[in-house]
Structure 1
Amino acid sequence: MSVRTFTPAVRVGNWNEDISLDKDLLKDFLAKREKGELLIQKTSNLKKSVLQKTELSVTTDGLLHFGDMVMLVNPENAVESLSNTSPVSGNFALSVNPEESAMHTTGHLTLPCGISASTNIKSCARNSFIISSVDGSKIGEPLYYGQNFALRTSEGFMGHLFLASDHKTFGKSSKKSYLQEVSLTDQPSYQACWQIAYLDPQLRMEHEGFPIPANTKVLILHSKTNQCLAVLRKHVLWTFFGKEQEISTHTFLNAHKVEENENHWIIVTGNPSDEINTMFDRPKPLSKIK
């Protein structure tokens, strides 16, 4: 392999061809930059689209409704945080984990597409989901405990995809924990159906069929497998957005057969008095802090 030891300014060998080649490379670079086709430009545009701020739905009656755009947050357990028993502290939002290479060619969210837990709990396109009906319920109707529903991404760039899960198999499971995988699909099926359960197991049956209040701790169960959506704080994923935690569908029970903090979720809505923050950011009364 020959190595060019002279620049085109030193006219030896095929100097004219070298000058023409450099000019063509510069023209190609400028043309791609003008069209926004450079990799650095695509990456920047991709991040802007995925991290674009979204307006969460504001609930006037304090309940969740079909058609609401919400954010799902796994809150930090204060007891675990103080005792340092939790491997990773903080609040985590359920977030879309896209394949960067695929979106560079299509310009929108495409399959396959995973799910992860991000420390970014400011509402944006990748962590906002729409509560969708699977039984004919109309937009604006309340969501009830035990009622099937779907969680989907928004239109446009986010691709209108549904949060789904299924039984783990030898060839299909979560990457780190090898538990039940959670991903996105473009087909609304029973694998994309979920239910909300009351947090306290002793009062769970009594709340069946009642409307669900927003911004309170609940369990999110997968209808087909009856497993709870969970954040696996011990398992780290390296994503396009940095270090995040793995998401799985698995019920974690303590010695009293009660679901642990990995399965606790707050379905967050918009703050009616503040366009920047959400209801999750509002100060909590001292009597409600646990």
Structure 2
Amino acid sequence: MMHSRANIRPYNAQVLVGNWYEDRVMEEEVLTDFLEKRSTGQLSSQKMSEVERMSQTIPLSISAGDGLLRFGHQLMLIHTSVYSAQNTGEKSQLSCCLATGIPHSSGLQDGATEVTATGTTSIRPTLRSAFILGKPNLSVSSDSVKYGDEIILSDTNGELFLTCVKSSTRAGRTCDVIFTSNKTRNSVWIVMHPNINARLEFDGSDVKIDDKIVLAHAPTNKCLSVNVEHFNRSPYGREHELLCELSTGSFATYKAPILWKFQTQSAY
């Protein structure tokens, strides 16, 4: 079938100008979209994975000349216990620090954000291993922390709180340790002296940075502990499992990996 000449778009200078204008508009739209994404960090080359983001190094609070631990400090909680291997009896230093882990669901707190609490062997301050030491009522304070004080530990955004929860898979004397956005009485811990016989004497005295301490869960009197026989695999690598177990009134605590220390950045 032959088309009449009237139905055919003539090829002339106006057609060339029109095509050039459309191309220019499209190029400008692409450039505008690129600049907008670059300014908001949405380019693929600018995006980092969650593991990379949480592994970024951040500064800790600088300790004052008195060396005292204070509320409001941004710090790390480092494990300091020496333990004996179950089969060989060989003693080893257990080097790990508290860190946020992977998403978790306890089934006890509907709608709350929950992640596991884990013991990372990477001893450096990052977004997942640095925490804010606060008071249970969330009041702003720089008071020194004393033995027997109740504390909370939150992530650097103040959104997730170290919490002890009942476990559906563990024995009754053992609880899970998680970070949750739902702060309750189960998010409160007591700073205790490591020597059971000296606790009454030291109660009310100042805690110094790097002092060995025991963190007891306020409602249950169980201690934050490391399971030396079990590791968790996560995107961050092989990490220690954390538990809340053993009464602080038992002499068995001397044998348990429950000794910790708070660490800030030295002023010197």
Query: Under a length normalisation based on structure 1, what TM-score does the superposition of the two structures give?
Result: 0.67
User: What is the CA-CA distance between 1:53 and the residue it aligns to?
Assistant: 1.0
- Could you say what the CA RMSD is over the residues aligned between the two structures, in angstroms? 3.3
Read off the aligned partner of 2:160 and give its amino acid letter: L
What CA deviation, in whole Å up to 9, does each residue of 1:158-179 have, x standing for no partner? x6210101344xx3659xx993
What CA deviation, in whole Å up to 9, does each residue of 1:88-132 have, x standing for no partner? 7541111110239xxxxxxxxx82311111110111111111001
Unaligned 5+ segments in structure 1 are: 1-30, 101-109, 274-290
Q: Does 1:95 align with 2:99?
A: yes
What CA deviation, in whole Å up to 9, does each residue of 1:120-169 have, x standing for no partner? 011111111100111465421111111111000012xxx6210101344x
Q: Does 1:63 align with 2:65?
A: no
Read off the aligned partner of 1:160 and give its amino acid letter: E
Change (3 A) 1:257 1:237: closer
Change (3 A) 1:256 1:228: closer
Change (3 A) 1:238 1:217: same
Equivalent residue, structure 1, for 2:124: 122
Residue aligned with 1:243, SS: strand
Supply the distance in 2 between the matched residues of 1:228 and 1:122 (Cα, whole angstroms).
Answer: 24
1:262 is aligned, of 257, 260, 264, to 257
Moved more, 233-242 or 84-93: 84-93
Larger Rg: 2
Supply the distance in 2 between the matched residues of 1:124 and 1:68 (Cα, whole angstroms).
Answer: 15
Supply the distance in 1 between the matched residues of 2:98 and 2:232 (Cα, whole angstroms).
Answer: 13
User: What is the CA-CA distance between 1:80 and the residue it aligns to?
Assistant: 4.0
User: What is the CA-CA distance between 1:268 and the residue it aligns to?
Assistant: 1.0
Supply the distance in 2 between the matched residues of 1:111 and 1:256 (Cα, whole angstroms).
Answer: 36
Map of 1:44-55 to 2, 5 A cutoff? Answer: 44-55=48-59
User: What is the CA-CA distance between 1:35 and the residue it aligns to?
Assistant: 4.5
Equivalent residue, structure 2, for 1:73: 78
Q: Does 1:166 align with 2:138?
A: no
Contact 1:98 1:114 in 2 (8 A): yes
Residue aligned with 1:203, SS: helix
Contact 1:66 1:131 in 2 (8 A): yes
2:267 is aligned, of 266, 269, 272, to 272
The number of equivalent residue pairs is 221
Change (3 A) 1:258 1:48: closer
Supply the distance in 2 between the matched residues of 1:252 and 1:148 (Cα, whole angstroms).
Answer: 17
Supply the distance in 2 between the matched residues of 1:70 and 1:128 (Cα, whole angstroms).
Answer: 5
Q: Does 1:196 align with 2:196?
A: no
Contact 1:88 1:234 in 2 (8 A): no
Supply the distance in 2 between the matched residues of 1:130 and 1:172 (Cα, whole angstroms).
Answer: 30
User: What is the CA-CA distance between 1:59 and the residue it aligns to?
Assistant: 1.8
Change (3 A) 1:201 1:127: same
More helix per residue? 1
Map of 1:141-152 to 2, 5 A cutoff? Answer: 141-152=143-154
Read off the aligned partner of 2:210 and give its amino acid letter: N
Contact 2:132 2:155 in 1 (8 A): yes
Equivalent residue, structure 2, for 1:228: 223
Supply the distance in 1 between the matched residues of 2:239 and 2:102 (Cα, whole angstroms).
Answer: 13
Read off the aligned partner of 2:232 and give its amino acid letter: L
Equivalent residue, structure 2, for 1:180: 175
Query: Under a length normalisation based on structure 2, what TM-score does the superposition of the two structures give?
Result: 0.72
Read off the aligned partner of 1:71 and give its amino acid letter: M
Change (3 A) 1:67 1:145: same
Change (3 A) 1:252 1:68: same
Residue aligned with 1:238, SS: strand
User: What is the CA-CA distance between 1:264 and the residue it aligns to?
Assistant: 0.6
Contact 2:84 2:92 in 1 (8 A): no
Contact 1:252 1:263 in 2 (8 A): no
Equivalent residue, structure 2, for 1:111: 113
Contact 1:167 1:225 in 2 (8 A): no
Supply the distance in 1 between the matched residues of 2:91 and 2:235 (Cα, whole angstroms).
Answer: 22
